[in-house]
Amino acid sequence: MKLHYRRLVYGIFVLLFLIIAPSLALYTAGYRFNLSNRSIERTGAIAISTEPSEVGVLINQEKVEQLTPFRLNNILPGEYDIEINTPEYYGWHKKLKVVSNLTTFLKDLRLIKKQLPTLSSSGNINLLAVPPNSQNLIFSTYDQLSEEKILLKEIKKEPVDITGATQTLNGIDFIEFSPHNQEILLGEPGTDDRGFVIVKANNGDIENLNTIDKLGFTELHWDTRNQNLLYGLRRSVLYRLNRAAKTIRPVLAKDISSYLVSGDDLLYTENSQNECTLNYFDITDKENKNNENTLDLPGPCRYNLLPYNDSKLILYNLATGQFFIVDINILTSNKDEASTADFRGRADAFHVNPETGQLLFYNDFEMWAYSPNLNQAELITRYGQRIDQAEWHPDGQHIIYIVDGNLRAIELDDRDVRNDFVLVGTGTVERFAQGDNETIYFIGTIGHQKGLFELEI
């Protein structure tokens, strides 16, 4: 071969090398040519896992060969339409954005099962309560011809009547769970001489507090740190009820309208001379030297004191619906400093997520989630109909709620539009309580059946 031909071939190979080598290096490093914007971009990845696993996924209407869980690499940056459809579960759809050199995660996505509810107990249902982390449900039934009955139902088993020889209770109200969620405090409605009982969540044993309480309390609440101690209010005097010793003793005589006890710390609201204040009292301080820390509150003085976490308190005004989250330490530390609320809003009810500490609150038409770490609230959803009840689901990914008599579930993932599912669309659901991670109980009517229903999701 002549010299100039050899030089030509050599030049061609050098040119090809200079073209191909960088391209291979860029390809190996995850760069691709993006036809949509005609530029070279570094790719990202999508990783998807679901509960249950081994379900099919569509990305931009094309079926992915792998079943979940899987990871797709070398995905060009952009927005992708993710869709999951399987006959046994509600469909899930969302647009997710892929960014260069990053992985977009859809981690442990909980799919909600399509299931018809089953009737657990027919008739009129009043009480409905499931203690956190319990396998048992406490509920009550009543009719016009007999007294109200309290029943214990283990999840997926038949209910058992536990009323026994307890006193006659009519129109039982749920008051609160014990500090360790092992017991439930129940009481009769009314404002004077109410009857109270405690139900053990594990076996349904009932303790009649009237054997100790001879005074007839108008209010009764647990010490948030000790399930053997309860505090009752009777004619402006607060009493301590010791279940173990079966004794009652007075603690404080003030114009108390609401109260909360945690160990030796008593917080209470007082309406004195048309002024409403939040006050701190040290129960161990018999000489009352430290009872000077107060916080002025807007009226009317009709507050509920709700524990939020170890250092925060929710002050909820029953008359206006306004609530305030305040730092308890400001009242208990004996510091002379003005206090302002960490956060304030308006709500009809609350529910605390025990895992994250987030506070779910809702009013007639809006549902919000408050994060204590960020000290701000995020709007979850807004409706044209009244929101009747809302709670965090134990999976940490959804909120279960009732709107317009329909039982629904909305996801917390706020990327794109939140998926919102109608679980029971009869328009007749009144209240619900959540059992384990897979079971919801609700009171309602389906067809000609009325009573307590069980729904597996």
3-state secondary structure of 16: helix
Q: Supply φ then ψ for residue 306, to 5 degrees.
A: -120, 125
Contact yes or no for 128/452 (Cβ under 8 A): yes
Two tokens, residue 392: 């965090």
Domain ranges of the chain: 43-110
pLDDT score at 26:
47
190 Cβ neighbours under 8 A, 6+ residues apart:
none
Q: What is the C-alpha separation between 148 and 127, in angstroms, rounded?
A: 10
Strand-pair partners of 105: 47
pLDDT of residue 188: 78
Strands 366-371 and 359-362: antiparallel
Quote the pLDDT of residue 336: 41
From residue 143, alpha-carbon distances to 158, 194, 402, 443 in Å are 20, 21, 26, 15
Those residues of the chain that have pLDDT short of 70 are 1-40, 144-146, 156, 164-170, 190-193, 213-215, 286-292, 332-340
pTM score of the predicted model: 0.87
Quick check: 128 and 441 in contact, CB under 8 A? yes
d(CA 282, CA 270): 16
Which among 394, 402, 408 is positioned nearest to 155, based on CA atoms? 394
For the chain, how many helices (H) and strands (E)? 2, 41
CATH label, 43-110, candidates 3.40.1390.10, 3.40.640.10, 2.60.40.10, 3.40.50.2300: 2.60.40.10
The pair of three-digit structure tokens given for residue 32, joined into one six-digit string: 């691709």
